[in-house]
A and B are shown apart, each in its own frame.
Chain A
Amino acid sequence: MKIKKCDVAVIGSGPGGLAAAIAAKQHGAKNVLLIERDREPGGILLQCIHNGFGVEIFKKDLPGPAYAQHFIHEAQSVGVEFLLDTMVLEITREKRIFASNKSEGMLEIQAKAVILAMGCRERTRAQVRLPGARPAGVYTAGTAQRWVNVEGFMPGKKIVILGSGDIGMIMARRLTFEGAKVERVLEIMPYLSGLMRNYVQCLQDFGIPLQMQHTVKRILGNERVEAIETVAVDDHWQEVRGSEEIIPCDTLLLSVGLIPENELSRQVGIHLDPLTAGPFVDNYFQTESEGFFAAGNVVHVYDLVDWVTGAGLRAGESAALYARDCLPMNKKIAVQRGENVHHVIPHYLDMGSLNQREEQLQMRVTKPLEQPVKVQVMNGTEVIASKALPYARPGEMVTISLKDKHIEPLKNAEQLVVQVVKRED
């Protein structure tokens, strides 16, 4: 078996992996190997042909492939080595990566640091337990996206979409562009799970009806989907009797959430947070297994690719420093979720970095608060940092930064609690 050695190995060449590989190279890692199972780098961005990418990083409104192209070129120009069409099969605790591809057969890659950048996966029918028959015509929105945008065929003609996630709404518009009729978008929650802008420009613009607090009661059809029976739900997610409706259609698309893809991480024995389904990480994006870093949606699912890139850059920089034996490791403070916070990243804060840079805490709220709120970082009853926001919604990530001025108040802290609560002033 062929053996390759490198300072930093990155698994996955989506936006997180590309950024991580570039940053690792820029921070002094000698050999950076970017491993991708597809035949070309870029990840899911290649099928996200809609615009809206790069607004923060490039101050431009780019389509996904153009955003990826920029980082592919940059990775090539800084000397990242690409290993394409290669599937990683196993990673050991000793950072030995076993992979295979058509031209070289089985490969062993020995790395000083490993960056996990496998991204996330869509929830499937089985994970939302939809009752009814099992005909053809039930797909995840991302699968349909790949067919329509890359491979060139349509999933169906009359479509119902379950879930108001961004990919579902974007696919509603895309399928309308290509001549399909999108009959309905159903959302079980009383609020939108994707961004408001996508509701406006993907549904409202084309008169596609969105029903909140509605879900699929049953899928009808034997060979192929023939109709969907929908039902309204109350505030306790209980079906409202008599609200059933039959919508004739040939396709049901699911846009019901994304889950970080950590099959390989689990195999290494990396400790995962059940709330995010991603690894526990510190502010360097180092997992609890030393020398293993995590970049982007593999940690928690971001709203914007620009933030995935930001997270990847940090993970890459940290991995390069680790490979060079100069990643600072000081006292770590646990960061815990408080009132109305579903989860907060990082899970641990290394105090040593605060004199050099701001550290951002990224969180998702549990409940929407459509009124002025404050984000607070607490050490016991003491407020360390506070930030005012006009509202907080689960669909939109909330952040707060800690700076050098917080070093002193944090000196004796063991754990911080982050909360997002109503502002009374």
Chain B
Amino acid sequence: MDKSLQTQSIICVACPKGCRLQIQRDGEEVLVSNQGCKRGVEYAIGEMKDPRRMVATTVQIEGARHPLLPVYSAAPFPKARIFELLAKLRSLKVQAPVKEGQIILENALDTGISILASRDMEQ
């Protein structure tokens, strides 16, 4: 048996079911079993090669009822760069009004992923 063959168990976070996936890694090859659906396979391969997470936080807003505007990443963001993204967002200040889905930060940290407003916020 190849020495690089490793088995590990991870919990899928693609949906709230929380399937316990079995992953075998044979060099570049990732073999997944025990998944509840095909999204589990995608998640497991991503987790092995390029782990990503959805990021939700707030940015400062001026001229609105609240001091903060909730924002989120349009797609899962590289896990290792989350704190870098948070620091960037902490430096932003937007002006009301804002519409839900409006781009707050385009192509964040050159990942191609935009940060969107989570809600409308009127003046």
Contacts and interface: CB of A to CB of B under 8 A. Distances in A.
Contact of B57 (A55, A68, A177, A197): A177
B12 to A, nearest CB: 8
A304 interface: yes
Contact of A40 (B15, B53, B65): B65
Interface in B3-19: 10-13, 15-16, 18
Interface string A36-54: 0001101000100111100
Interface string A356-398: 0000000000000000000000000000000000000000100
Contacts of A290: none
B11 A199 contact: yes
A339 interface: no
A79 interface: no
Contacts, number: 79
Nearest to A148: B58
Interface stretch (B24-32, B66-74, B103-111): B66-74
A195 B118 CA distance: 23
B119 interface: yes
A49 B101 CA distance: 14
Interface string A140-167: 0000000001111000000000000000
B79 interface: yes
B8 to A, nearest CB: 13
A55 B53 contact: no
Given A49-B72, A66-B100, A197 B67 contact: no
B118 A197 contact: no
A66 B118 contact: yes
B120 interface: yes
A42 B120 CA distance: 12
5 contacts: A62-B118, A66-B101, A66-B118, A396-B16, A396-B18
What 7 pairs between A and B have smallest CB-CB spacing?
Answer: A196-B18, A65-B119, A49-B70, A197-B13, A65-B118, A63-B118, A152-B67
Interface of A: 39-40, 42, 46, 49-52, 55, 61-66, 68-69, 149-152, 177, 195-197, 199-201, 205, 303-304, 396
Interface of B: 10-13, 15-16, 18, 53-54, 56-58, 65-68, 70, 72, 79, 82-83, 86, 100-101, 118-120
